[in-house]
Homo-oligomer: A and B are copies of this chain.
């Protein structure tokens, strides 16, 4: 599971110094772990070419955080790493492939709305069960008044 670093940092965020942010700070602000930031970079998601110090340490700028945030939001909708990578490639290839970007996003949108519908549908089952148990508890069960044989678990 994704380390649940407390949410991305709410409230008005202190702006970023000239020198950029350490990976720890960037992790704090994007809501993922430093490990995951490195992983995303290795995986080819981070097209903003994060700066480095002389010594090789990453320094994150606002644009890096912005892009990474896009990535995490796409992830949060269930877009696979590979697809985000593909999208990142399209974006970094510059203008001219909007048709492809659009197709990718529309396809993903369809996936997401289908998934949403499915979850909402099955949420009903959960709500019915909750209703059943609340009822039983309220009634002290009363020896299962209604639904004597039905599979009302």
Contact = CB atoms under 8 A, between A and B. Distances in A.
A127 interface: yes
Interface stretch (A15-23, A35-43, A51-59, A101-109): A101-109
Nearest to A103: B133
Nearest to A106: B130
Contacts of A70: 125, 153
A76 interface: yes
A119 B126 contact: no
A141 B101 CA distance: 14
Contact of A137 (B99, B105, B123, B137): B99
Contacts of A67: 151, 153
Contacts of A73: 122, 125
A118 B130 CA distance: 23
